[in-house]
Structure 1
Amino acid sequence: MSIEMLTLLFFGTLLLFVFLGVPLTFVLGGVSVVFLYFTWGADAFYMVASQIWGTMESSTLVAIPLFVFMAMVLERTGVAKDLYHMMHLWWGGLRGGLAIGTLGICALFAAMCGISGAAVVAMGTIALPSMLERGYDKKLALGVINTGGGWGILIPPSILMILYSLITGVSVGQMFAAGVLPGVLLMVLTVLYIVVRCAFQPNLAPALPKEERGNMAEKMRALRAVILPILIVVMVLGSIIKGITTPTEAAAVGVLGALLSAIVYRKLTWGLMREASLRTFKLTGMIMWILFAAHAFSAAYQSMGAQALIEGVMMSIPGGPWAIIISMMVIVFLLAMVLDPVGIMLITLPVFMPIVQSLGFDPIWFGILFVINMEIGYMTPPFGFNLFYLKGVAPPDVSMRDIYSSVIPFVLVEIVGLALIMIFPEIATYLPKALF
């Protein structure tokens, strides 16, 4: 059978089982193992086992359950409530101030947690009802929480960046450093969008009445809420950037910070530890299956010779290297509308990375572009995870249609940010080069 027919049959089988509703991880792993057997025979399984064993020896893997556990603990401590109260007092007097403050809290949560759902659930529960009660436009409030929640996978520490590093072989520390300035850029662009829009449409996000803004003494007391979160961020990112710890060791430091927060807020109970541990075990188990599927897929893909075929197709795209990179971004953007980010990584990275490197592009820079696309996928209809997280905690009068339509202007802002990082790669590459 020709390589073209084999590739078509391989991907056609994958799509068939995906549309039948089989979990993507098991589809990739199962179909890949079957194709390996019929192309190389039973000996091919030793190759997969060898690759998996090599990954399992990586100490970087230990960081994943630690960061997940850290997020599970922080989600239940009450940090978000105090942060919102502080932001309410300091920013509420401005038009759009509650929305801007909510973005700030989401960025802080992103720098503590490493996952997307924590900030969306916390702000959807606390900030959304508050903004709606004070006359904020429903779509503006929903869009802000969706956007800010997605930064959890871009602003380090990020579990998706750890998986990217494991699949592609780049440095986790460099990926973390590369995510800082793009995260700041996207936050600044989103804040500017809110400020400009509220200047022209002040009824969208009115300033709070004076009696709700608090006096200076109340504002200063409220600042205590940021001490613990900033301490955790400094403990985690500061220790990595200064070279004191590896990302794995920094994850353990972050868990310590999360447990200290739980003690301070008097939420550290056996019930909290049990629930956080069980959720961590579930997510970690899922990630292990994902890594198995990634190696099986990569082995099957290479054994069929499909990599050379698709490289040839991509290289034939008119317009040169930049046209190829833009085509990759469009493919990932479209996939992100219907598949989960980890599944997209499994399908595309074994195909894209050899091409990216052969074209002379920085894999760290490409990784940031990839992660931003995944972040956009979290907030894009029809299957963006953040959309469903938010629907689960939103008031009953908020419909799925409201949530879908709220993300449109914010997706455009994110695309502008993505374009700026493509035009000026130093936004992503400056810190890794300076620090490592």
Structure 2
Amino acid sequence: MTTQSLPQPEYSRNMRLIGHSDQGGKPDGVQVMVHRGYAYIGHMVSQGFSIVDVRDPKNPRPAGFVAAPPGTWNVHLQAHDDLLLVINARDLFADVRFADEKVYYTRSVSETVKGTQQRGWSAGVRIFDISTPDQPKEIGFLGLEGIGVHRIWYVGGRWAYVSALIDGYSDYIFLTIDLADPRHPQVAGRWWLPGMHTAGGETPDWAEGKRYALHHAIISGDTAYASWRDGGLTLLDIKDRAAPQLISHRNWSPPFGGGTHTALPLPDRDLLIVLDEAVLDNQEDGEKLIWVFDVREPSCPVSISTFPQPDERDYVSKGAHFGPHNLHENRPGSFVSSTLIFATYQNAGVRAYDITNPYQPKETAALVPAAPAKMMDTRPGRPQVIQSCDVFVDAQGIIYSTDYNGGLSIIEYLG
């Protein structure tokens, strides 16, 4: 694809679109990993994951698609060394009960799906050998009873960490996975917020309309920084991978709107960047923010600032979701910085921030991709508006961002 045929971004400042891919005709993207010159992209609608050759980022080429088992989505994945880990979970957005997205975001998933008689999906984690990057070979599977896995953290070595909705719990909880033998992965430990273990007799003490569920945890050393949607933030001591222990729990919902999605530790600065996801259209769930926490005393995380909001136009009235969705997560082998932070802002595109002064974060660059050419999201009434979903920045500083409908945007940072 030549630069002449690139979709024209709606807005850009200190960022330039250099490449775009419709991901082999499956432009619905959720998580993206760029590894050894290939992008691995989990799909929201297309039930599988795609591979795009991005060795020349200005000329991305589709390089394969791996289908999910029937009834299953592969929205999130992780690549490191020769392994690719792909989530398997029930395709919830294909379920008519979740046609109104408010149902997904404002109540326990197990409550909504209870009474499902037949198990028509695969739950767990598929493990692929990607020593040949465009020819993944499945070598192992971690099977679970329940809805399945939402997201994974894996950066090599023996341990992976997942959010999983398994039978007996109200929603997704934290599991540690032992990959000593990747062909035979095992669950080692688990942790949940009190009230979630329904089979153990626990009952939720949170308000109606709140969803307590682990989105995912990012691990630094022996600490897991875990985001629990409307349940806030926990720091967990995982020195013993089989027995995680609570260090601290913070929740600011209410008064804020919840949706805590990503907690990115910056260990060299004793800082933690915590992002709350906007989950409803037209800011119906309230203004969502990216917070800076001081975590030098892990038992007492303190919020010291918030990132500025995009304000070059009225994004609330633009339609669909306006607000943060995810951060570039400083994975080993990717671009790693404790002063330059990249985030997706859904209908406000991709943003970069300088937090050299953690008390005064500043936006340094932005790019809002063009509206999607076609809609892949089949839920009724979804607006044809960009929803920049995930962001990955490679070691050379090239930015890759997915969208639920609009394909892969490849962006150069000029800030």
Taking structure 2 as the reference length, the TM-score comes to 0.24
Q: Which has the higher strand share?
A: 2
Structure of greater relative contact order (alpha carbons < 8 Å, 6+ residues apart): 1
Q: Which has the higher helix share?
A: 1
* Larger Rg computed on CA atoms: 1
Taking structure 1 as the reference length, the TM-score comes to 0.23
